[in-house]
Amino acid sequence: MLIRNSKREYGVIAKFFHWVIALIIFTLFGVGLYMADLPVTPAKFELYGLHKSFGILVLSLVVLRFLWKMGNSTPELPKHMSMIEALGAKGAHLVLYLLMFGMPLSGWLMSSAAGFPVSVFGLFTLPDLIAANKEYLEYLEYFHEYAAYFLMAVVFVHMAGALYHHFYYKDTILKRMLPW
Amino acid sequence: MVRLFKTLLCSCWFLLCSFSVLYAEDVPQFEIDLDKSSLTFKAVQNGAEIEGQFKKFTGKIQFHPDHLDQSSVEIEVDMNSVDASYKDVVQNIKTKDWFFTTKYPTATMKTQNIEKVDGGYKANAELTIRDQTMPVEIMFNVAEFSAEKAHAKGKAALKRKDFNVGWEDTKAVENDVQVIFDVMTMAAQ
């Protein structure tokens, strides 16, 4: 088992980041969809609090993941991929990284604009990024919602790509990221 | 001659009386200059502080730092004028569980007495929110005072559940609420 990535395989640290973040993102998406339309009750407040806390957890993990990625080699794409396919794969990864930063940051901005600061698991409260502002809040709400749908669409393409590699090309793309 | 003297004496007495009446009215009356005033409340949700404001409130204020025994403040707050940066809060805080503004459109505060304390003044007041009246202590200081205008800033600490405001659960929204005011007043018309 590798700790760091090699030219062929992902190490355990990269795999850990990949799967933990994926799991939290799926949960956040589901909870986010569900909680937004709930009537205002203590349960809604609690879900919002948890959604924000886990969102900030993702942001922290993504920062660490990005640093780890920068200090590591990235396994190469198989030689049989066309230029277009390779560009598509790289593009999807770039968008995924942008959204992994963009989603929690827009959520944090939203909380600031709403005047509902982010408390991280009740341990500490994040400073507001902007002053409370109703107009910005509306734009940020749209952004956060549609960026979430877009993120899920790109995740779907990413997953479809991995399965396509596994079943059509029968290469190691999917296997090298599996945790076992 | 005696008659004239009597008239004079009477006039003097009358003048003296009027002066003493004027003197009693030395405690000026003020009304709130809403554009320059704010009434804010702060609560804690999920461990983080949130705030809202009341945009409309009126007051009958009689105040003179040297005549605290004759000073009093009465404030009436339009509960429907509540505002916050998050529209869900504004909508929901007006509902039955919270302010129930359709049934209780106003909240009132009346001071019982005002005394000088270190760093300002302390007022013992009766605060009515919804159908609950409770005594509260209000600490304030007067930044500016003249017969034409006065400027006061202060705060009070409340427990929302004392007034049946909000959920029984205090985990999502804590029981402690701070009320902060910054009131600019002008001489009453």
pLDDT at B17: 54
Q: Establish if A36 touches chain B: CB-CB under 8 angstroms.
A: no
d(CA B130, CA B114): 25
CB contacts, 8 Å: B40 with chain A: none
d(CA B54, CA B108): 13
For residue B4, name the pLDDT band (cuts at 50, 70, 90): low
Instruction: Suggest the residue from B42, B44, B45, B46 to mutate for an interface test with chain A (most A CBs closer than 10 A).
Output: B46
Q: Tens digits of per-residue pLDDT, B94-109?
A: 999 999 999 999 999 9
pLDDT at A7: 87
Q: Tens digits of per-residue pLDDT, B8-26?
A: 666 656 555 555 445 555 7
d(CA B183, CA B9): 46
CB contacts, 8 Å: B83 with chain A: none
Residues B47, A115: C-beta atoms closer than 8 Å = no
d(CA A115, CA A108): 11
Alpha carbon of A110: minimum distance to chain B alpha carbons (Å): 10
With CA atoms as reference, the chain B residue closest to A49 would be B46
pLDDT at A53: 97
CB contacts, 8 Å: B169 with chain A: 42
- The CA angle B110-B115-B117, to the nearest 5 degrees, is 130
Q: Tens digits of per-residue pLDDT, B137-170?
A: 999 999 999 989 999 999 999 999 999 999 999 9
pLDDT at B88: 82
Instruction: Suggest the residue from A38, A40, A125 to mutate for an interface test with chain B (most B CBs closer than 10 A).
Output: A40
For residue B115, name the pLDDT band (cuts at 50, 70, 90): very high
- Per DSSP, the residues of A36-86 read HTS-SSHHHHHHHHHHHHHHHHHHHHHHHHHHHHHTSPPPPPPTTS-HHHH
For residue B132, name the pLDDT band (cuts at 50, 70, 90): very high
Residue ranges of chain A whose pLDDT lies below 70: none
CB contacts, 8 Å: B88 with chain A: 40
With CA atoms as reference, the chain A residue closest to B173 would be A42
Instruction: Suggest the residue from B38, B50, B55, B86 to mutate for an interface test with chain A (most A CBs closer than 10 A).
Output: B86
Calculate the average pLDDT of chain B.
90
What are the backbone dihedrals phi and psi of residue B128, each rounded to the nearest 5 degrees, phi first?
A: -115, 120
pLDDT at B89: 86
Q: Which of B47, B84, B92 sits opposite A119 (nearest CB)?
A: B47
- Residues 6 or more apart in contact with residue A25 via CB below 8 angstroms: A58, A100, A103, A151, A155
CA A63 distance to own-chain centroid: 11
Q: Tens digits of per-residue pLDDT, A23-64?
A: 999 999 999 999 999 988 889 989 999 999 999 999 999 999
pLDDT at B5: 64
- Per DSSP, the residues of chain A read --SS--SS---HHHHHHHHHHHHHHHHHHHHHHHHHTS-SSHHHHHHHHHHHHHHHHHHHHHHHHHHHHHTSPPPPPPTTS-HHHHHHHHHHHHHHHHHHHHHHHHHHHHHHHHT-PPEETTTEEPPPSS---HHHHHHHHHHHHHHHHHHHHHHHHHHHHHHHIIIII--STTGGGS--
d(CA A75, CA A68): 14
CB contacts, 8 Å: B42 with chain A: none
pLDDT at B189: 79
The average pLDDT across B71-84 equals 96
pLDDT at B102: 96
Instruction: Suggest the residue from A44, A53, A119 to mutate for an interface test with chain B (most B CBs closer than 10 A).
Output: A119
Tokens 């973040």, located at residue: A21
Residue B66 has pLDDT above 70, yes or no: yes
Residues A49, B47: C-beta atoms closer than 8 Å = yes
CB contacts, 8 Å: A52 with chain B: 46
Q: Which of B50, B171, B173 sits opposite A115 (nearest CB)?
A: B50
pTM of the model: 0.81
pLDDT at B128: 98
